[in-house]
Amino acid sequence: MLAAIGLLQTTFVPYLSLLGAKPNLMLLVVWAWILIAGSRGGLWWGFIGGRLLDLRGGSPLGASALALVAAAYLIGQGAGAIFRERLLIRVLSGLAAGLVYGSVLLGLLALGGRPADWPATLVRVIVPDALYNAMLLPVVVLVLAASRRVGSRRWEV
């Protein structure tokens, strides 16, 4: 599933732009999984999903993985009952995860020698993308939770 998400992220998602903001499917899936199953599994999903993005995208190898793991770890520390119970808290946690992911990725790119205009990138890219992702998060949580329930049922003939 993560390989399919990575492929969609690098091929199809650029066409889902809304006022310049683009969703980050991998971040959404990782964050939704943290809300559903806890942070430990989400950290692995973040690492594997980030590596897949690094292989398909244009970022240095390991940058997306580290940014996803950092977002999953930092925001996932509060992913207990508080994030699972209230929709607004979930959306805000998704916003925070997007801001952490974007900031860490920008910092890693800057450390790698790519020029970074922090204020402009923050205002034009990171914040709009994080808002877009936060709005999509409840839908992704519902889809993953439903697929998890369907997958866990035993089918007998």
pLDDT in tens, the chain (157 residues): 888 888 888 888 888 889 889 999 999 999 888 888 877 778 888 899 999 888 877 778 889 999 999 998 887 776 555 555 677 887 888 899 999 999 999 999 899 888 888 899 999 999 999 999 999 998 998 998 888 776 555 444 3
Q: Is 19 left (phi over 0), alpha (psi -120 to 50) or beta?
A: left
pLDDT of 20 reads 87
pLDDT of 155 reads 42
pLDDT of 82 reads 56
pLDDT of 66 reads 93
pLDDT of 38 reads 77
Query: Model-level pTM?
Result: 0.84
pLDDT of 156 reads 44
Residue with tokens 């920008």: 106
Rounded-to-10 torsion of CA 104, 107, 112, 116: 130
Helix count and strand count (H, E) for the chain: 8, 0
pLDDT of 55 reads 86
pLDDT of 56 reads 79
The per-residue b/e assignment along 89-109, b for 16 or more CB within 10 angstroms, e otherwise, is: ebbebbbbbbbbbbbbbbbbb
Q: Which residues pair with 18 in a beta bridge?
A: 21
